Amino acid sequence: MRFLLRVVLIAGLLLIAWPWIPARLRPASTAAVPARTIQIAGGAAVALAIALALATRRRRDGEADDAAEIRARLADAGFRFTDLDRGWQAEGLWQKERVVVRKVSDVHATRFGRPWTLLITLPGTPREPWPFLPDQGGIVERGNGTFTVVAADLGLAGRSARLGSRLDHLLAARE
């Protein structure tokens, strides 16, 4: 696909430069076509190639890499994984406490303008006042002896290494 886009771009640029190409190098079949028409077609080809290149460009893989790094860190700690509709769930022990970490693409991710975020379910009740900012550990749910926080900032590029210390701090901030 990239090769085809480059060919279309080069062809479009050649068509734009049509008046400056010597007549002996031009195909005979184009003699009856006005140069301005050929330039307009070249401009359209260039615009099309640029639009297609932008539409099909490779996305930055940092977020996928960060999610893989988080998953690997949890797997190293002995967590069991379950695939979900739009993400995964990891269950295991962290500091001898049962913790559930979910990577999801849902309303919580949309709220922070992220393609995905982590939801962390911890045992106990949160301490008052809660010491975390909403994107670092905002409480989104309270249940029977558990509560769930969103950790949207761990999905930002380069922040996945903070997972271990964030889990330590979240567990310390319980009653």
Q: For residue 54, with 0-12 CB atoms within 10 Å meaning exposed, 13-18 middle and 19 or more buried, which class applies?
A: exposed
Q: Which domain holds residue 35?
A: 2-55
CATH code where residue 73 lies: 3.30.1460
What CA–CA distance (Å, rounded) separates 119 from 123?
Answer: 13
CA distances from 41 to 4, 9, 47, 165 (A): 17, 12, 10, 58
Which residues share a beta bridge with 117? 104
Q: Is 68 found in the same domain as 49? A: no
CA 104 to chain CA centroid, Å, is 12
- The per-residue pLDDT for 135 is 77
**pLDDT tens digits for 126-171?**
888 888 888 788 888 898 899 999 888 877 777 777 888 888 888 8
**pLDDT tens digits for 97-136?**
999 999 988 887 788 888 888 899 999 998 888 888 887 8
Q: Is 93 found in the same domain as 7? A: no
Residue where one domain finishes, among candidates 55, 70, 99: 55
Q: Is 161 found in the same domain as 125? A: yes
Q: Is 39 found in the same domain as 67? A: no
Mean pLDDT to the nearest integer, 3-10: 82
Q: Is 95 found in the same domain as 47? A: no
Which residues share a beta bridge with 119? 102, 150
Q: Is 122 found in the same domain as 161? A: yes
- The per-residue pLDDT for 63 is 46
- The per-residue pLDDT for 1 is 67
Q: Is 66 found in the same domain as 51? A: no
Q: What secondary structure letter does DSSP report for 174? A: B
- The per-residue pLDDT for 84 is 87
> Based on the structure, what is the number of domains in the chain?
2
Amino acid at 34: P
Per-residue burial over 83-110, b = 16 or more CB atoms within 10 Å of its CB, e = otherwise: eeeebbbbebebeeeebbbbbbeeebbe
Q: Is 159 found in the same domain as 77? A: yes
**pLDDT tens digits for 32-85?**
888 888 888 888 888 888 888 777 766 544 445 678 888 888 999 999 999 988
